[in-house]
Structure 1
Amino acid sequence: MGQSHDTAKPVKQTTAGAEELPESREPTLHSQVTTPEVLFGHPVEPSTTTQSNPYGCRPKCFASTFSECLFVITTSFAIGQTAVLTGALMVSTARIQQGLNMNSSEVTWVVAGNSLTAGCTLLFFGKVADLFGRRSLLVYSMGLFTICMLITSFSQNAIMAEIFLALSGLTCASVVPPAIGKLGAIYEKPSRRKNRAFACFSAGNPIGFVAGAIIGGIATEVASWRTMFWTITVLYASLTMVAWFTTPQDSEQALGGLNKETLAQMDWLGALLAVAGIASFVAAFTQAPDASNGWGTPYVIAMLVVGVLLMASFLYWQSVFKHPLMPLRVWRDRNFSLLVASLCLMFYGFNSNFFWLALGWQRAYNNSSLEVAVKLLPAAIGGMVVNFGVALVQHKVSNKGLSIFAASCSIASCALLSATSKTISYWALSFAAQLFAVLGADIAFCVTNLYVMSSLPPAQQSVGGGIFQTVIRIASTIGLGVSTTVFAAAGGSTEVSVNVAWRPYQSAFWVGLVGAVIGFCLTPLLTIGRQGHRQEARSVANRDGGDRAVQTTEKKSTIV
Structure 2
Amino acid sequence: MEKITQRKMVTVAMMVSIMLVALDTTIVTTSMPHIVKQLSGLKLISWVFAIYLLTTSVTTPIYGKLADLFGRKPVFIFGVALFVVGSMVSGMAQTMHQLIWFRAFQGLGAGAVMPLTFTIIGDLYSGEERAKMQGLFSSVWGVAGLLGPLVGGLFVDQISWRWIFYINVPIGIVAILLVLAFLHETQVRKAEKSIDYWGATLFTLSMGSLLYALLNGGEVYAWNSPVIISLFVAAAVSLILFLYVEAKAKDPMLPLSLFKIPVIAVSNAVGFMASFVLIGVNVYLPIWIQTLLGHSATSSGLTLMPMSFAWPLASTLAGRYMYKIGSKTTALFGAVLIAAGSAWLLLVHPNSPYWYLVGVMIVIGFGMGCSMTPLTVLIQSAVGWDLRGVVTASNTFTRSLGQTVGIAVFGTVFNSTMNSYVQNHVPGVWQSENISNALASGASANIPANVLEQLQNGMAQSLHSIFILVFAISIVTLLISAVLPSHSKVMEQQKAD
- On whether the aligned pair clears a TM of 0.5, the verdict is yes
Structure 1 counterpart of 2:203, which letter?
A
Is 2:356 aligned against 1:466?
Answer: no
For 1:96, which of 35, 40, 45 is the aligned residue? 35
Change (3 A) 1:116 1:77: farther
Aligned twin of 1:307: 235
Structure 2 counterpart of 1:421, which letter?
H
Change (3 A) 1:298 1:366: farther
SS at match of 1:490: helix
Distance 2:416 2:141 in 1: 31
- Asked if the contact 1:404–1:523 (Cα under 8 Å) also holds between the matched residues in 2, the reply is yes
Aligned twin of 1:519: 477
Aligned twin of 2:120: 182
Following superposition of structure 1 onto structure 2, how do residues 405-444 of structure 1 map, counting pairs within 5 Å?
405-427=333-355, 429-444=356-371
Change (3 A) 1:98 1:395: same
Deviation at 1:298, TM superposition (A): 2.9
Change (3 A) 1:79 1:289: farther
- Asked if the contact 1:82–1:169 (Cα under 8 Å) also holds between the matched residues in 2, the reply is no
- Asked if the contact 2:313–2:369 (Cα under 8 Å) also holds between the matched residues in 1, the reply is no
CA RMSD of aligned residues (A): 2.4
Aligned twin of 1:40: none
For 2:207, which of 265, 278, 295 is the aligned residue? 278
User: Which segments of 5 or more consecutive residues in structure 2 lack a partner in the other structure?
Assistant: 420-435, 445-451
Following superposition of structure 1 onto structure 2, how do residues 154-233 of structure 1 map, counting pairs within 5 Å?
154-187=92-125, 189-191=126-128, 193-233=129-169
- Asked if the contact 1:410–1:436 (Cα under 8 Å) also holds between the matched residues in 2, the reply is yes
Is 2:63 aligned against 1:63?
Answer: no
Distance 1:239 1:126 in 2: 19
Aligned twin of 2:425: none
- Asked if the contact 2:378–2:487 (Cα under 8 Å) also holds between the matched residues in 1, the reply is no
Is 2:179 aligned against 1:243?
Answer: yes
Q: Deviations over 1:110-161 (max 9, x none)?
A: 1222111010111111111111121122123223312221222111122221
SS at match of 2:351: coil
Deviation at 1:394, TM superposition (A): 1.6
Aligned twin of 2:424: none
- Asked if the contact 2:263–2:379 (Cα under 8 Å) also holds between the matched residues in 1, the reply is no
Structure 2 counterpart of 1:511, which letter?
L
Point out the more displaced range, 203-212 or 237-246: 203-212
How many residues are treated as equivalent by the alignment? Answer: 466
Following superposition of structure 1 onto structure 2, how do residues 492-531 of structure 1 map, counting pairs within 5 Å?
493-494=436-437, 495-496=439-440, 497=444, 499=453, 500-501=456-457, 502-529=460-487
User: Which segments of 5 or more consecutive residues in structure 1 lack a partner in the other structure?
Assistant: 1-59, 548-560
Following superposition of structure 1 onto structure 2, how do residues 26-425 of structure 1 map, counting pairs within 5 Å?
62-64=3-5, 67-79=6-18, 81-104=20-43, 106-187=44-125, 189-191=126-128, 193-246=129-182, 248-254=183-189, 256=191, 261-262=192-193, 265-293=194-222, 295-425=223-353
Identical positions, percent: 19
Q: Deviations over 1:482-530 (max 9, x none)?
A: 1222222322654234731212111101111111111211222233047
- Asked if the contact 1:413–1:437 (Cα under 8 Å) also holds between the matched residues in 2, the reply is yes
Structure 1 runs, 4 residues or longer, greater than 6 Å off: none
For 2:376, which of 438, 449, 454 is the aligned residue? 449
Structure 2 counterpart of 1:401, which letter?
T
Change (3 A) 1:232 1:289: farther
Change (3 A) 1:280 1:527: same
Tell which structure's C-alpha radius of gyration is larger: 1
Distance 1:380 1:125 in 2: 28
Distance 1:531 1:100 in 2: 53
Distance 1:289 1:410 in 2: 30
- Asked if the contact 1:117–1:169 (Cα under 8 Å) also holds between the matched residues in 2, the reply is yes
- Asked if the contact 1:115–1:169 (Cα under 8 Å) also holds between the matched residues in 2, the reply is yes
Deviation at 1:166, TM superposition (A): 0.7
Structure 1 counterpart of 2:96, which letter?
A
Change (3 A) 1:322 1:232: closer
- Asked if the contact 1:479–1:512 (Cα under 8 Å) also holds between the matched residues in 2, the reply is no
Change (3 A) 1:503 1:62: farther
Point out the more displaced range, 109-118 or 226-235: 226-235
SS at match of 2:295: coil
TM-score normalised according to structure 1 size? 0.78
- Asked if the contact 1:139–1:240 (Cα under 8 Å) also holds between the matched residues in 2, the reply is yes
Q: When you count helix as a share of all residues, which structure comes out higher?
A: 2
Deviation at 1:204, TM superposition (A): 4.7
